[in-house]
Amino acid sequence: MKKAINILMAAALLSTCAAAPLSTFAAEVSVSEAAIPSCKMKMIELYTALRDPSENLDSKYETAALDDVLTQICGDYVATCSYDQGYYLSSYSNPRLLMSPDRKVHIIHVIYPEVVVEMKEGAEFPASEIEEAVTSNGFKMPKIQSDGNLYRISDCYSKEYQFDVIMDILQKSSDVRSITGHLAVYEDTANGTGTSYGTIVGSPSGMGISDESNKELLEAASAFGFKASKYNAQSGVIGEYDIYLGKDSEASEVKQYEMLKYLSENGYRYAVPIAVTELAQESCDVYFCNISYPVNNVADVRRAFAAENVQLKGDANCDGQVDMADVVFIMQSLANPDKYKLTDIGRENADMDGDGVTVADAQAIQSKLLGLDNEESKQTVEQPPTAEDAGFTTAGGKRVTFGLSEALRNAAETGAEVAVSPKYGTDYNYEYNGKTIAQYHKEWDEHDSYYEKFAQIFKDGDMLKYGEALYTTGAPDGTKWSKDWYDTRVAFYGEDFLAKYIVDGEFLRDKAEADQAEFLEEARTTNHCYTVLHEAIDACNAEKMQAAIPQLEQQSIRWEYANGGKDLVFYVTAEQFEALSLDNVSSYRTAATSPKATDMGMVVYTHDD
């Protein structure tokens, strides 16, 4: 007998878990004309095969990206709920409900057994840094196995405190060559779903249909055949929604897929009540695929450095200035918070009206840049607050990691010494080989911007080719964007870039793919601006470490170099640390005195120099 289960889920606040099509989390790979192969497997066979690191499945994983598989199964899909769309390591299935253009709801299961990290030749895997970051959150290290310069990571239990922390470290490392997530995907065909047209939506202001800023949403709902009303939640589980979109009995046609796509693309949190039957599934068609993550993301490093030094209203990406890049970054963070993360300082900067980060903040910044507001255009630079921020606290009057704070507390009781490493903020005026670090940053930003434009144009090109009709009359398939979102996307690409690939109302996909390949090949074969940037930063840090040595010796503190000379390590008691005085240090953290660690689930790494 079929058992119906109500799987209505609550969406998180817009600023932390906004709507986004699942395709935004996958690699930017076009779907091949040929069908992606699948394997007919029994469920027990599938889970047995995925139980251990899967060298024998590598070639299968490389066949397609996650978006390829989901598109083959569902067509041009959209999620039926904006909540919890990210993926992280798990040996259990991660169910998702996707709606295809024919309004069919597909029950998709995604299993994410491992991440494979390829290090540069001779580079050391950042085991100690990962261990410190993960264990400071109270979690143990996941399972890691090494094979030459390949490292397989599996068995995470927390997305926020294990997987996200590890990925952040790896993506910022200049020694990481590639990061690839391996996934197994199958559609549950044994069970059925039932859904109404009803959709609940949370407006950014929380004021529902009475808020003037929701006027465009309500107009779009009406155009898609929906009638909006206040939603009086009877349960705290769904209390964050304040608008109910129901089928308009007077409408000639109701387009639920298009309605959800509109909500997704414009950053709304939403959910559709769906009932799913519960039957055991014995076998399935399994697709092995991948997610390719961007690496060497110096933009995030730049934002982290900037966040420690200045706070600027409107500066969402913390690069020290307010421009259209901040508008785009806010919209990206709302649409895909797993990929585009606002820092704590960035979130404060982005919140223009004090009620959380929403689309309205992006619009406010854009209006300021266009001179449409009444405030002074010049921004006031303020020093950041000295309160604790994410991952850090205060000890001995200094900014320290939580791990170091705990180590110093323990050392105070025993009198033992603690190995400490200072970290320095970046001096953007520091010159290296004739250019300042700021100039190297600008070169990388330009490269990074082009990389991102190429990555996104394959999604937007087939829509942007319709020009202003996209927000006036709509595309032939019924898709209609808001004017603000259209203007934001055009500003993101720039007129010169779009003019190359959208000509006479057509998207020149072949030309874009050829230019992207040439761009990536040039970056791979030349002395990359990212590499030179980090050479400059390393040279700057080396000078600061050299200046710190006589200061340490004057305070009778012993020291040594670690990590091939890139880190300075000194040894102090808790009392010495409190009295310590060093110039130009932004923070302190515990230092790894050995590259080998065997506790907390960590495996032993060996490396031949």
Q: Answer whether residue 48 shows pLDDT above 90.
A: no
Phi, psi angles (nearest 5°) of residue 202: -105, 120
Instruction: Determine which helix (DSSP H) or strand (DSSP E) holds 231, and give its type and residue range.
Output: none
- Which position has the higher pLDDT, 100 or 322? 100
Between 489 and 320, name the one with better pLDDT.
489
Q: Greater confidence, 301 or 552?
A: 552
> Residue 387: what pLDDT?
29
Residue 104 CB: number of other CB atoms within 10 A? 14
Query: Using one digit for the tens of pLDDT, what is the confidence trace for 480-496?
Result: 888 877 888 888 888 88
Q: What is the pLDDT of residues 330-358, one digit of tens each?
A: 877 776 676 677 877 788 888 887 778 88
CA 418 to chain centre: 34
Q: How would you label 375-410 residue by residue, b for 16+ Cβ within 10 Å and e otherwise?
A: eeeeeeeeeeeeeeeeebbebbebbbbbbbbbbbee
Residue 570 has pLDDT above 90, yes or no: yes
Whether residue 21 has pLDDT greater than 60: no
Lowest mean pLDDT among 1-10, 34-43, 563-572: 1-10
pLDDT score recorded for residue 388: 31
The 10s digit of each residue's pLDDT in 132-181 is: 888 887 788 888 888 888 899 988 877 878 888 898 899 888 888 888 88
Q: How far apart are the C-alpha atoms of 239 and 142, rounded to whole Å?
A: 36
Q: Confidence class of residue 547 from pLDDT cuts 50, 70 and 90?
A: very high
CA distance 272 to 258: 13
Distance CA(504)–CA(489), nearest Å, equals 19
Which has the closest alpha carbon to 93: 72, 108, 74? 108
pLDDT digit string (tens) for 50-100? 876 566 677 788 778 888 899 899 988 888 887 656 677 776 778 889 999
Q: Please indicate, yes or no, whether residues 287 and 321 belong to a single structural domain of this protein.
A: no
Q: Of all residues in the chain, what percent carry a pLDDT higher than 70? A: 78
Q: Which of 353, 386, 419 is the last residue of a domain?
A: 386
Flag whether 120 is in a domain.
no
What average pLDDT does this structure show over 237-265? 82
Question: Do residues 91 and 113 touch, judged by C-beta distance below 8 A?
Answer: yes
Bridge partners, 145 (sequence order)? 152
Q: How far apart are CA 18 and CA 265, in angstroms?
A: 10
Indicate if the pLDDT at residue 577 is higher than 80: yes
Q: Given a cut of 80, is residue 20 above it in pLDDT?
A: no
Task: Say if residue 422 is in the same domain as residue 325.
Answer: no
The rounded distance, in Å, linking the Cα atoms of 295 and 277 is 41
Better-scored residue on pLDDT, 307 or 112? 112
Instruction: Specify the pLDDT at position 37.
Output: 86
pLDDT at position 64 is: 84
Residue 234, both tokens: 């009877």
Does 152 reside within a domain? no
CA atoms within 13 A on the CB side of 6: 8
Q: Strands (DSSP E) along 322-366, which ranges?
A: none
User: What φ, ψ does residue 523 adopt, rounded to 5°?
Assistant: -65, -35
Q: Is residue 389 pLDDT above 60, yes or no?
A: no
pLDDT at residue 571, rounded to an integer: 92
Q: Are residues 421 and 347 in the same domain?
A: no
Residue 106 CA to its chain's centroid (Å): 25
Phi, psi of 210, rounded to the nearest 5 degrees: -80, -10
Most confident of 219-228, 308-317, 365-374, 596-605: 219-228
> What is the reported pLDDT for 84?
56
> Is it the case that residue 14 has pLDDT exceeding 80?
no
With CA atoms as reference, report the closest residue to 306 among 322, 288, 293, 289: 322
3-state secondary structure of 598: coil
- Give the number of C-alpha atoms closer than 13 A to the C-alpha of residue 297, restricted to the C-beta side: 18
Residue 212 domain-assigned (yes or no): yes
- Please report whether residue 121 resides in a domain: no
Q: Are residues 263 and 336 in the same domain?
A: no
Indicate the burial class of 179 (C-beta count within 10 angstroms; 0-12, 13-18, 19 or more).
buried
219, 347: one domain: no
Give the tens place of pLDDT for each residue, 459-481: 788 889 999 988 898 888 888 88
* Mean pLDDT over each residue of the chain, to the nearest integer: 76
- What pLDDT is attached to residue 339? 64
Q: What are the CA-CA distances from residue 121 to residues 33, 114, 125, 528, 590 (Å)?
A: 36, 22, 11, 17, 27
Average the pLDDT over 116-143 and give the result.
86
Structure tokens at 133: 């970051």
Looking up residue 366, the CATH number of its domain turns out to be: 1.10.1330.10
Question: Which residues touch 527 (CB under 8 Å, ≥6 apart)?
Answer: none
CB neighbours of residue 217 within 10 Å: 22
What is the structure's pLDDT at 1?
A: 29
How high is the pLDDT of residue 300?
A: 46
Question: Residue 448's closest CA among 265, 292, 266, 301?
Answer: 301
Residue 401 and residue 391 in contact, taking contact as beta carbons nearer than 8 Å: yes
| Domain shared by 416 and 359, yes or no | no
Closest CA to 96 of 85, 284, 264: 85
Query: Is residue 312 pLDDT above 50, yes or no?
Result: yes
Total structural domains within the chain: 3
- pLDDT for residue 274: 87
Residue 137 lies inside a defined structural domain of this protein:
no
CA angle 360, 352, 340 (to 5 degrees): 70
Contact 149, 119 (CB under 8 A): yes
pLDDT value, residue 579? 93
Please tell me whether residues 508 and 424 are part of one structural domain: yes
Check residue 441 and give its pLDDT. 76
Instruction: Give the model's pLDDT for residue 534.
Output: 79
Query: What are the φ/ψ torsions at residue 220 (nearest 5 degrees)?
Result: -65, -40
CB 127 within 8 A of CB 605: yes
Supply the range of the domain harboring residue 323: 299-386
Same domain, 283 and 305: no
User: Please, are residues 362 and 491 in contact by the beta-carbon 8 Å criterion?
Assistant: no
C-alpha 568, offset from chain centre: 31
Answer yes or no: is 97 within a domain.
Answer: yes
Tracing tokens 């520091």 back to the chain, one arrives at 430
Of the chain, the end-to-end C-alpha distance in Å amounts to 63
Whether 553 has a pLDDT exceeding 90, the answer reads yes
Residues 550 and 431 both lie in one domain = yes
In this structure, are 280 and 366 located in the same domain?
no
- DSSP assignment string, 371-387: T-SSS-SSPPEEPPP-S
Alpha helices in 358-436 (DSSP H): 359-369, 402-414
Per DSSP, 604 falls in state: P
Best CA proximity match to 125, nearest among 600, 536, 592: 592
**472 DSSP assignment:** T
Residues 6+ apart with CB under 8 A from 258: 224, 478, 479, 480
In sequence order, the β-bridge partners of residue 569 are 560
Boundary of a domain, candidates 291, 320, 341:
291
Of 258, 291, 324, which residue constitutes the final position of a domain?
A: 291
Does residue 360 form part of some domain? Answer: yes
Dist CA 175 CA 295 (whole Å): 9
Residue 606 in tokens: 């060996």
Q: Which residue has the tokens 């899909």?
A: 77
**Which has the higher per-residue pLDDT, 311 or 128?**
128
Q: Are residues 424 and 378 in the same domain?
A: no
Residue 307 is predicted with a pLDDT of: 44
Residues 291 and 65: beta-carbon distance below 8 Å: yes
Which residues neighbour 130 within 8 Å (Cβ) at sequence distance 6 or greater? 141, 165, 166, 169
Distance CA 593, CA 609 (A): 18
Asked whether residue 34 is domain-assigned, the answer is yes
Residues 558 and 572: their CA atoms lie apart, in Å, by 8
CA torsion, ordered 328, 257, 71, 23, to nearest 10 deg: 20
Amino acid identity for residue 220 in this structure: A
Co-location of 287 and 317 in the same domain: no
Residue with tokens 């599996």: 154
